Amino acid sequence: MIEFHLDARSGVSPYMQLIQQVRHALRLGVLREGDKLPTVKEVVARLAINPNTVSKAYRELEYEGLVQARPGLGTFVTRTLAGDAEIHRPLRRDLERWLAGARAAGLDDESIEALFLSAFRASQEARP
For range 71-89, the mean pLDDT: 86
Domain that holds residue 50: 14-77
For range 27-51, the mean pLDDT: 95
First to last CA, the chain: 38
Shared domain check, 103 and 52: no
- Per residue in 14-52, is it b (16+ CB within 10 Å) or e — as a string? bbebbbebbeebbeeeebeeebebbebeebbeebebeee
For range 66-83, the mean pLDDT: 92
Is the Cβ–Cβ distance between 81 and 23 less than 8 Å?
yes
Read off the pLDDT of residues 99-112 as tens digits, 9 standing for 90 and up.
999 999 999 999 99
pLDDT at residue 54 is higher than 80: yes
Shared domain check, 119 and 89: yes
- Per residue in 73-105, is it b (16+ CB within 10 Å) or e — as a string? ebbebeebebeeeeeeeeeeeeeeeeeeebeee
Is the Cβ–Cβ distance between 28 and 77 less than 8 Å?
no
Shared domain check, 61 and 20: yes
pLDDT at 94: 94
pLDDT at 124: 83
Whole-structure pTM value = 0.76
Shared domain check, 62 and 43: yes
Shared domain check, 55 and 19: yes
pLDDT at 120: 86
CA 33 to chain centre: 16
pLDDT at 125: 84
pLDDT at 66: 97
**CATH number for the domain harbouring residue 34:** 1.10.10.10
Q: How many residues are listed for the chain in this entry?
A: 128
Residue 90 lies in a domain: yes
pLDDT at residue 28 is higher than 80: yes
Residue 8 lies in a domain: no
